[in-house]
Structure 1
Amino acid sequence: MTLLPHGARSEYLDLDGGRVRVLRGGSADAPPLLLVHGGSNDNAAISWYRMFTEFGSDHSVIAPDLPGFGGTVGIEPLGGPAAQADFLSRLLSGLGVERAVVAGVSMGGDVALNLARRHPDRVRALVLIAPGGLGDRVGNRFTHRAAWWAARMPDPLLFRFSALANRFVGLALRAVVHDVSTMPPEVVAEFRREGRRPGASLGYLRYNQANLGPHGMRNDLLPVVGEISTPTLFFHGERDPIVPLRGSRRAAELMPDARLVTVPECGHWAQLEAHDRFVEETRAFLDTVGG
């Protein structure tokens, strides 16, 4: 049985020839809050497990599974963040939502930034947790070249390696989270379950294939991120082993209306690892933007 967060209900939207699972919470008449999950074995219920009870009292909370993730079926994974941002714009139209506060974690932060850049009228404010898309390469040039070659492997080999890696999702979780004891047991169980799902990681594989160039990242927004004037809160763990803090720090400096909150002794899933701090900072930020 898949995880359903407290305060959430599961709905399906027919879109792009498939069915999109959307977790909904709160009142439909309240200001919309769109939550965009991350990559790997993530889905809307995992990244946003605690957010429906926290924000459902004063927001209409909307958390879709992107194509290739979770319970969304019948739509091929979209690859890069620009295509995923356009998909979210269509999804908002399908839900009858004109404008929303958008929160995104990791890959979802990359998608949220692209949504604000490509469809600025859709985004009232941004809350970005360790967002991707703010770096020119993966590690050093040798690490990046190796990652690029790996992403170019034929699908059968990629799927075989992914399936093998997903047998050790517990180790993967420890490589992402600074202190696993901060994670709700239900989230850990769903993360393991998602890793065993047929087709798991396909959405993230396509995202990486779209973004990894031979010499650098194709999705690096730092050269243009200063054009995004949307009010933005960056929230980043200081012990993040996946997405370097320097990207969020530099983007917060370049954007005209952005601030950065860093959390000590916290890894990549900062909204889960430092839940109370995240809710406090997000509420304070939303108060300033009227969201």
Structure 2
Amino acid sequence: MGSRRIVAGAHVLLAALHIYWATGATWPAPDERSLSRAVLGVQVSFAPQMVLPLAVLHLLLAFAVLRSDRSAAARVVVAGLAAGLAARAALGLVWIFTSAGTAFFWLNLLLYTPACIALCAADVRLLRMRWLKAAVVAGPVAVVTVVALVAYVYEPGQQLHPTASADSRYVDTALARFHYLQRGTGSPVVLLAPGASPASAWDAELAALAHDHTVYAVDLPGQGETRLHNEQFAFDLDGMTDALGQFLDALQLQQVVLGGNSWSGGWGLAYAQQHPDRVSKLVLLAPSGLDEPDVWSWEMLKQPLVGEALAKLAANRSMVESAVRGLFVHQNLVTSQLVDSMWVPGTYRDNVRSMYALERGLDWSVTEKALPFTRQPTLVLWGDHDTVLPVAQAARFGELLPNATVRVLPGCGHALTVDCADDVTPLIAAFLR
């Protein structure tokens, strides 16, 4: 009975803690963001609708533990609980050796993982059948081991580089061999390849804007056909803006219009904030840049081991096609050629690494804080069917940017440069004039 009371008491304590957080309190952290990152390693909401169901769950688990000597159903719940704790303990042990320096790392090392091991051992003692005791521990540990092998040993097969486009150019810097597309003559416009997409995603805009401008569509590190010379490159906001600066310097572009979609919109925004004299205007298509959580499928990439495994498994053509289709409203535009243009570069090792490294390294609180002081005229376009960054963020950019023109495009998804090129291109051309 003593083990049951200890385990049940631990769940009652966790339930009380979740009820406390439901009041809006964030102790022992200073704010919700810090609390979330310390408790889970990722940023999620601690709103009452999120934490109160977890409090109820912990109370039910406490009840099941206390009843496990009398009820077969309760013993099944305890077995499931032990399996979950075994998996979390195994993950915690892996995280100890694969991440360091954050509050989550130290809490995982000193509190979470030891507590999971102790609670798992106590739960296993409550089970009667020896085979079940072994299964609830060995099964989850085996699964975590396989995931760790995928994350740190397996490498997806790199596909052959596609034939270069007639517009393709290359320029070498100390950092990377940059691939870019160039067309037209006139004042310079630099379009940054959308996050996890190649520069060719701007093909329609490249052709249209080239009538009045010299247009460059560039793959920054981790995107498309650009190749890093430094494998230790830091995929964070400073790293990406430094890379953009090196590209502009290599082409001797002193002042440009910068455009970006999704992640690359945030990179362009950050560069304009850091170097206002080099950016005359901004074109931001459903950009990152606000300090808000991403959709859960992207937030999961922030977790050590999990992020590496997901990024490698996602370098699969069928998964890429499924992900691309989720970005589009106009499904007829998702051709085999388009899917291949995203899948092939997505198999390169640096590009695979960039998926989880960028998700962990991009601190958008920096860009959000600087938005009221970002003076460049800015065009913000958003699709009303965006499944990656909520369209409500468009209004937020409009509120914070002093010189923003915001348009929400009906019947458009996140991949605006392709999904709604006929709507996007005239708006950009008019803005640049």
Q: TM-score, normalised by structure 1?
A: 0.84
Q: Note if 1:2 corresponds to 2:200.
A: no
When residues 199 and 91 of structure 1 are mapped into structure 2, their CA distance, relative to the original with a 3 A threshold, is: closer
Does the 8 Å CA contact 1:49/1:187 hold for their aligned counterparts? no
Cα distance in structure 1, aligned partners of 2:241 and 2:280: 15
2:329 partner SS: coil
Alignment correspondent of 2:178: 20
Once the two structures are TM-superposed, the CA of residue 247 in structure 1 deviates from its matched residue by 2.0
Cα distance in structure 2, aligned partners of 1:235 and 1:3: 32
Alignment correspondent of 1:214: none
When residues 220 and 247 of structure 1 are mapped into structure 2, their CA distance, relative to the original with a 3 A threshold, is: farther
Q: Note if 1:254 corresponds to 2:414.
A: no
When residues 232 and 218 of structure 1 are mapped into structure 2, their CA distance, relative to the original with a 3 A threshold, is: closer
Greater RCO between the two (CA within 8 Å, min separation 6)?
A: 1
1:176 partner SS: coil
Q: Deviations over 1:204-237 (max 9, x none)?
A: 32211113xxxxx554633331110100000100
**Structure 1 gap segments, 5+ residues each:** 212-216
Once the two structures are TM-superposed, the CA of residue 19 in structure 1 deviates from its matched residue by 1.3
Q: Note if 1:87 corresponds to 2:87.
A: no
Root mean square deviation of aligned Cα: 2.3
When residues 70 and 230 of structure 1 are mapped into structure 2, their CA distance, relative to the original with a 3 A threshold, is: same
Alignment correspondent of 2:215: 61
Q: 1:61 corresponds to which letter in structure 2?
A: V
When residues 100 and 3 of structure 1 are mapped into structure 2, their CA distance, relative to the original with a 3 A threshold, is: farther
Task: Report matched runs for 1:1-291 at 5 Å.
Answer: 2=162, 9-27=167-185, 30-40=186-196, 42-45=197-200, 47-73=201-227, 74-76=229-231, 77-138=233-294, 143=296, 147=299, 150-154=301-305, 158-167=307-316, 168-183=319-334, 186-211=337-362, 218-219=364-365, 221-287=367-433
Does the 8 Å CA contact 2:311/2:355 hold for their aligned counterparts? no
1:259 partner SS: strand
Once the two structures are TM-superposed, the CA of residue 196 in structure 1 deviates from its matched residue by 3.5
Once the two structures are TM-superposed, the CA of residue 158 in structure 1 deviates from its matched residue by 4.0
Cα distance in structure 2, aligned partners of 1:196 and 1:84: 20
Does the 8 Å CA contact 1:80/1:207 hold for their aligned counterparts? yes
Cα distance in structure 2, aligned partners of 1:279 and 1:87: 26
More strand as a share of residues: 1
Q: 1:231 corresponds to which letter in structure 2?
A: P
Q: Deviations over 1:122-145 (max 9, x none)?
A: 111001000012232235xxx59x
Does the 8 Å CA contact 2:206/2:217 hold for their aligned counterparts? no
Once the two structures are TM-superposed, the CA of residue 50 in structure 1 deviates from its matched residue by 1.7
Q: 2:162 corresponds to which letter in structure 1?
A: T
1:111 partner SS: helix
2:369 partner SS: coil
Does the 8 Å CA contact 2:293/2:299 hold for their aligned counterparts? no
Percent identity over the alignment is: 26
Bigger shift: residues 66-75 or 30-39: 66-75
Once the two structures are TM-superposed, the CA of residue 22 in structure 1 deviates from its matched residue by 2.0
Does the 8 Å CA contact 2:294/2:388 hold for their aligned counterparts? no
Does the 8 Å CA contact 1:128/1:234 hold for their aligned counterparts? yes
Q: Deviations over 1:71-128 (max 9, x none)?
A: 2112444422333122212211110110011110000000011011000011110010
When residues 14 and 4 of structure 1 are mapped into structure 2, their CA distance, relative to the original with a 3 A threshold, is: closer
More helix as a share of residues: 2
Cα distance in structure 1, aligned partners of 2:276 and 2:172: 24
Does the 8 Å CA contact 1:81/1:111 hold for their aligned counterparts? yes
Does the 8 Å CA contact 2:320/2:339 hold for their aligned counterparts? no
Cα distance in structure 1, aligned partners of 2:174 and 2:214: 23
Bigger shift: residues 247-256 or 158-167: 158-167
Q: 1:2 corresponds to which letter in structure 2?
A: P
1:127 partner SS: strand
Q: 2:313 corresponds to which letter in structure 1?
A: L
**Structure 2 gap segments, 5+ residues each:** 1-160
Bigger shift: residues 84-93 or 264-273: 84-93
